Amino acid sequence: MLSINQYGFVASMRIVIDEVPVAESKPHMVQQRDLRVNDPFPELLEYVNKIDMSTMPLELHSHTPWVVVLMKCADKWRAAHEGAIPKNFAEKKEFKALIKSEAMDWAKSANFEEAINNASVLYESKELSEDLKKIFESPKMGSNTFWSVVEAIREFYRE
């Protein structure tokens, strides 16, 4: 519906529509990456568990994906800290030192440097924001293409 009020040269126009979903393409907040490092899906866990980095030759060791390096070091950390992940600055610094100590040859271990640079994915909170929780509770789920996509994302987070 289009509502127009005119008084001589002064006018106002109002467009009334039900809803226009808009997704911010460049959000101002820091993007969180959910790589499922804390709660890996079964296939990722199986893949990581098959890898024995202690017996690898240097060439394979230096080409192991940083996510695997991070998960292996996180397992060692948890074993030594009653299942907990690094929480404060000192523990995070100690965890990064653990990652560095696992490299066979630091000069050839860019993957270990990547693991250190991305260690925050291990101890970042994966809790949903309040705004996202409100969107996921919307009664409009499935009413159009946008809400169908939102519903699929909600199901992904439930699993």
Q: What is the pLDDT of residues 7-32, one digit of tens each?
A: 999 999 988 887 777 777 666 655 66
Q: What is the pLDDT of residue 82?
A: 92
Domain match, 81 and 15 both: no
State yes or no: pLDDT of 125 exceeds 90: no
Domain match, 79 and 149 both: no
Full-model pTM? 0.65
In a domain, 51, yes or no: yes
Domain match, 88 and 112 both: yes
Domain match, 95 and 137 both: no
> Given pLDDT bands bounded at 50, 70 and 90, which one contains residue 33?
low
In a domain, 37, yes or no: no
Domain match, 54 and 97 both: yes
pLDDT digits (tens, 9 = 90+) for 56-91: 898 888 889 999 999 999 999 999 999 888 989 999
For residues 31 and 118, give the distance between their C-alpha atoms in angstroms, rounded to a whole number: 13
Q: Domain tally for the chain? A: 2
Domain match, 51 and 111 both: yes
Domain match, 83 and 100 both: yes
Domain match, 113 and 56 both: yes
Q: How open is the CA angle 70-75-81, to the nearest 5 degrees?
A: 120
Span 43-64, mean pLDDT? 90
Domain match, 136 and 151 both: yes
For residues 65 and 97, give the distance between their C-alpha atoms in angstroms, rounded to a whole number: 18
Range of the domain at 75: 42-123
For residues 69 and 29, give the distance between their C-alpha atoms in angstroms, rounded to a whole number: 28
State yes or no: pLDDT of 159 exceeds 70: no
For residues 105 and 113, give the distance between their C-alpha atoms in angstroms, rounded to a whole number: 11
Domain match, 23 and 54 both: no
Domain match, 19 and 52 both: no
For residues 123 and 90, give the distance between their C-alpha atoms in angstroms, rounded to a whole number: 13
